[in-house]
Amino acid sequence: MSTLLGLLSLGTVAVIFGGLAVLGIWLFTTTRRNRQRRLAWLWSFASGRGWSFAESEPGLVRLSAYAPFGLGHSRSATDVIRGVIDGAPFVSFTYTYRTGDSSENSEVTYTAMVTCVRTPPSPNMLVVTPEGALSGLKEAMGLGDLKLESEDFNRRFHIRTNNNRFAYDVLNPSTMHRMLTDRRFQLPMRFDNSNLFTWRWEALRPEWVEPHVRYLSDILRAVPEYAWERR
């Protein structure tokens, strides 16, 4: 009797492990299939507009030293779309990084859609984020808030910069008024390393590429020429 019970127990364990193995294979296969479908979809979307697509581009993780870049570990840039809209070259991609330790079950993955256009050469850094966005950013950057004359603007946005004069030039009265009325400015913006970029906390969505590029282009177009000449 005990032998029979032992065999039944071994059989049960074998069935459980076998089931787990099958489940693991199914999950791996499904994930891989879904990823291949997404890659094909993104390639078709990009090529249909005369843009280029790459599955990954490691160099993009060094686009900036500041959040959302420069945080955590295992950073990657995938789903990379490059192109030109109204004469403005751009790149848009999925940026991923992790914090914590997988061995301690404390690992967390963060994903952002980043879109970037080039600016004239500039050493200036300016980041404007809506109230509540990226809490702890000030500590991560080591910079304090810059306050402007508009109290309404100061309540709605956080401003951090390495050059107050550049910030005043960019955030002139007409631009501040537009930012208070244009819902697109719910997205953050950052001038950094001769780039202007924005991001949102989700993987790249093709339907957001062009609106994000146009948002950045409109910001860049409103910057007065003399702002780039000052150091």
CA–CA dist 203, 110 (Å, integer): 10
Hey, what amino acid is at 12?
T
Hey, what amino acid is at 108?
V
Average pLDDT over every residue of 90-101: 95
57-89: per-residue pLDDT in tens? Answer: 999 999 998 888 989 999 999 999 999 999 999
12-27: per-residue pLDDT in tens? Answer: 666 666 665 655 554 5
Contact call for residues 77 and 57 (beta carbons, < 8 A): yes
Contact call for residues 167 and 161 (beta carbons, < 8 A): yes
Place of tokens 């979307």: 45
Average pLDDT over every residue of 120-146: 72
Q: Is residue 91 scored above 50 in pLDDT? A: yes
Listed in sequence order, the DSSP H helices in the chain are: 2-47, 137-141, 151-156, 164-170, 173-181, 206-221, 225-229
Lowest mean pLDDT among 64-68, 110-114, 197-201: 64-68
Task: Kindly report the pTM of this predicted structure.
Answer: 0.81
Place of tokens 């959302």: 68
